[in-house]
Amino acid sequence: MTKADQLSRRERQIMDILYRLEHASVKDVMDLMEDPPSYSSVRTLLGKLVEKGHIGHKESGLKYVYFPLVAREKASRSALGNVVKTFFDDSPYLAVNSLLDMSIDDLTDEELDELKSMIQAHKQRKSKSGGDQ
């Protein structure tokens, strides 16, 4: 994972806002931030996200409008990979186990059945591709 992939808490907060709105001005972002920093700080954070290649911008009248360049799914996979590597010794098994421990009481029987089906589908793909050897 490159340094450009790693986002600060505020940068992640801004990315979440941009994914929800699809495009936003500095003021739009500030309006949705919890305990927002100053206008110039938000503008600086947006500039850093542009430099890192996570967002783009275009002129709209007298202001810039910012938008995500990285698909949310790709960004979430990258972020999740970083969490797994950092907190779970790069083990998806440990991460899933922890998630289940955290939320087992919140999962419906239907969701548990869906997880079971997903695991079975992955096992079948793995055996077809020779991953069990």
Domain spans of the chain, in order of start:
3-68, 90-133
Element (H, E) at 16: helix 9-21
Q: Spell out the per-residue pLDDT of the chain, length 133, in tens.
A: 444 457 888 998 999 999 999 999 999 999 999 999 999 999 999 999 999 999 999 999 999 999 999 888 887 888 788 889 999 999 999 999 998 888 888 889 999 899 999 999 999 998 888 765 4
The answer to whether domain 3-68 has CATH 1.10.10.10 is: yes
At 68, is the secondary structure helix, strand, or coil?
Answer: strand
Between the alpha carbon of residue 106 and those of residues 21, 55, 63, 76, the distances in Å are 28, 34, 44, 22
